[in-house]
Amino acid sequence: MAMTTPSGVRGDGRAEAPERDARAGDGPPMTHRQIMEALSGLLLGMFVAILSSTIVTNALPRIIGDLGGGQSAYTWVVTAALLSMTATTPLWGKLADLFSKKLLVQIALLIYVAGSVVAGLAQSTEMLIACRVVQGIGVGGLTALSQVIMAAMISPRERGRYSGYLGASFALATVGGPLLGGIITDTDWLGWRWCFYVGVPFALIALVLLQKTLKLPVVRREVRIDWAGAVLISAAVSLLLVWVTFAGDRYAWVSWQTYAMVGGALALGAGFLFAEGRASDPIIPLRLFRNRTIALSSAASLFVGVAMFAGTVFFSQYFQLARGLSPTMSGVMTIPMIAGLVLSSTLSGQIITRTGRWKSWLVGGGALVTAGLGLLGTIRYDTEYWQVAVAMAVLGLGLGMMMQNLVLCTQNQVSGADLGAASSVVVFFRSLGGAVGVSALGAVLGTRVTHHAENGLAELGPEGARLSQDAPAAGGILDPATLPEPLRTVMEGAYGHGVADVFLYSAPFALVALVVTVFIKEVALKR
């Protein structure tokens, strides 16, 4: 079958000159001051969105303990937000191509506020997980629309500079969130419920700033929302996550449940592709993937998502459960990663703006992420902290080079009419990788901790057999301070080795992302 060139993309892979859309405008280009004023509310909204996903990580051991949950609940509190964020990101991107971007980002903030307030009142893990789904819907809008609005105001060549600011906000919230969450959890007169309340004032401030500073023209056209595509892709991803969460625990990896769930997810995925091919305004335009850069950037984002979210979710369990640190100190220990992420994100954005070249940053970032995860795969509960810090810094440097630049090179390939869809595609695959990765790796962690704990107790001989009766039930979250000394050492060792296994299993995904970026064709950014 003959291959046709996607609309909005030239046959040589370069983007066509956009029609006179909202970005082109009739007036002169915005000055740096005007852009920064317009971005103020957007950056704060982005910070709040990511903060909601990370602030709970260091508080989760205590949250799950208070609410009576286990390892699967621990994983699902994180995964539920990632799932709804992943499923709704393409829909937000499509809506941005049709309606007021300013109104949409304000609606996303209000959804986030509603989910956060109710989450702080949760009395069970099930209620908390449901509230995290609502939070994720709002976060999906904020994440996708931030990229879309920036693309609507700034040319690709200049966008690298401002993407660095967005990346720095992302980095600060990604790793600063756990530190703030730890401090709140350790403060007696606050407690973990304030991890959900603390973002609400910032969201309201962002709402006011956006109303005052963000001014974008609205292009209206007759369209139909692809609800069928949205439902099918949400169902496919949800079924896949349920399978990877419970496989190996509630049922065997090779079982009728696996066949049913995987088969169902594949059938729903096929239905999604069929629906997108027939939709007049598909939620994810399949024609975009005929462009090599967009297809490869999406694939790289999928695998980078696994590494990015693994690095933020499982560090809290390592520092608290393997090293016996408080939630606050657990956040402090992750500072090397945030420093590396902020540094590389900001520096790469500035240099890309000056040179217009971006591929070397992607390839270098992929190499550093792979190396960082490989180094983290060697840690144990008693590893010298400086060795852990070096590995975290390497991981942070690599993530900062890759995250925003994968979106940037994709936006450089499309016309203004497809900016929302193309931007959300990359964010979608990154979130999908994170959701599937956290769910699967959480299940792996539970299995590996049990394995290493059994081995540790067996090495103690008869005393280990006696202590095994006092060990936490499978899937439970332990408090090291409540265990007798020999058992405490065994369990800390089990968690240290188990988390290291998770990082080691993540490294091949980062390696695949590195290989994929090598094949992306570099096209100089448009002015």
Q: What pLDDT, on the 0 to 100 scale, is given for residue 29? A: 64
User: Is a pLDDT exceeding 50 seen at residue 23?
Assistant: no
pLDDT number for residue 20:
37
User: Which residue type occupies 307?
Assistant: A
Q: What are the pLDDT digits (tens) for 144-165? A: 787 778 777 777 667 666 766 7
What pLDDT, in 10s, does the model give residues 50-97? 777 778 877 887 888 788 777 677 778 877 887 788 778 777 877 777
Q: Is the pLDDT of residue 269 over 50?
A: yes
Q: Which residues pair with 415 in a beta bridge?
A: none
Computed from CA positions of residues 206, 341, 314, 495, in that sequence, does the dihedral angle turn out positive or negative? negative
Question: Is residue 412 pLDDT above 60, yes or no?
Answer: yes
Q: Please give the pLDDT value at position 266.
A: 93
Tens of pLDDT, residues 343-379: 888 888 788 878 878 888 999 999 999 999 999 999 9
- pLDDT score recorded for residue 420: 66
The residue with tokens 């956060």 is 116
**CB contact at 8 A, 178 and 312:** yes
Among residues 216, 218, 221, the alpha carbon closest in space to that of 281 is found at: 221
Q: Which whole number is the average pLDDT over 92-116?
A: 84
Which is higher by pLDDT, 527 or 130?
A: 130
Compare 72 and 47 and report the one with higher pLDDT: 47
User: What pLDDT is recorded for position 363?
Assistant: 93
Joined together, the tokens standing for residue 10 give: 């030239």
User: What is the reported pTM?
Assistant: 0.74
Closest CA to 445 of 326, 320, 317: 317
Count how many residues are written for the chain: 527
Rounded CA separation 366/356 (Å) = 19
For the stretch 28-42, pLDDT in tens is 566 777 777 777 887
Amino acid at 281: D
